[in-house]
Amino acid sequence: MIIAGNGQMIDQEIKKDFPIKIRRMEYHAPGPILKKHWHEEFMIFYIEKGTAVIHCNSQPLPVAAGDLIVIHCNDMHYVENCCNHLVEFYIIIDLAFLLSSKEDLCQTKYMTPLLQNRLRFQNKIHDDNITNQFLDLIREYEQKSPGYELWIKAGLYRILVLLLRHHAVPVQGEIKNRRHHRLRPVLTYIEEHYDQRITLKELAAMANMSPYHLCRLFKSITGMPPIEYVNHLRIEAAVKLLQQHYPISEIALTIGFNDSNYFSRLFRKYKNISPSAVQKENTLS
């Protein structure tokens, strides 16, 4: 699994002949899981135990045991663990796997619109019928009895039908997708240069829009204004460096702050703890 500079996740474990991956994951420390990313595959989370917030296209979705979360193709998302023991399952699917070799009504009416984000479902779902179908796919995937691939493929169609019948939502997909693609060069630049001086003016010029409109668009996609997003990346990078016990003044310079005192104040604002306390905690553990 690779998260590229622009936030795209490329999963090298998904096989081309059976492009479905099902995993059970456990986390024992509160905080963000991975960083904000997107991928071309369709994804469904199931929370088995604990509580979390799944951030999808800047919308925070509080979830608890029994909840399902649908992540559409190219949705920007990340998970924030809110407990000491989070257990989740997820299925990630290359929807092209469900296309027919010959174009038919099912493909033109349902699958193609889903791939193009012209057909969308609610993100957060609590539906016992769909949950049972989901857990059935997990059992088949784990047991790998003869014909399990056919069972899983058929089960995915059933899940999509249930989502379509009970959880479809109106779409402004084309506009949203164009806005998302327009922002990707800016996201890529920030990911690659967050440790350097970045101004709102240069980001706006990169997107060919005014600073005001860039801020509105950026916040609608990521949940925060551009400069706050830059600081978010810097602080997350700082956490890793603090755990390696680099001097705080050196870390500040490395991630783009000329003033180590300002860095310490900002770090405390974001993390509710001082940089020195993080280093101390890591030493004791």
- Domain ranges for the chain: 2-170, 174-284
**pLDDT value of position 7:** 62
Q: 174-284: same fold as 2-170?
A: no
Helix axes 211-222, 226-243, angle to 10 degrees: 50
Q: Is the pLDDT of residue 114 over 80?
A: yes
Q: Is the pLDDT of residue 1 over 70?
A: no
Over residues 149-157, the mean pLDDT reads 95
Identity of the residue numbered 244? Q
**pLDDT value of position 173:** 45
Over residues 89-113, the mean pLDDT reads 87
Three-state SS string over 14-26 comes to CCCCCCEEEEEEE
Q: Is the pLDDT of residue 205 over 70?
A: yes
Give the integer Cα–Cα distance in Å for 245 and 141.
43
Topology of the domain covering 2-170: Jelly Rolls (2.60.120)
Q: How confident is the model at residue 10 (pLDDT cuts 50, 70, 90)?
A: low
Helix axes 211-222, 200-207, angle to 10 degrees: 80
Q: How confident is the model at residue 9 (pLDDT cuts 50, 70, 90)?
A: low
Choose between 6 and 224: higher pLDDT. Answer: 224
The gap between the terminal CA atoms of the chain, to the nearest Å, is 28
**pLDDT value of position 180:** 64
Q: 174-284: what CATH class?
A: mainly alpha
Compute the residue count for the chain.
285
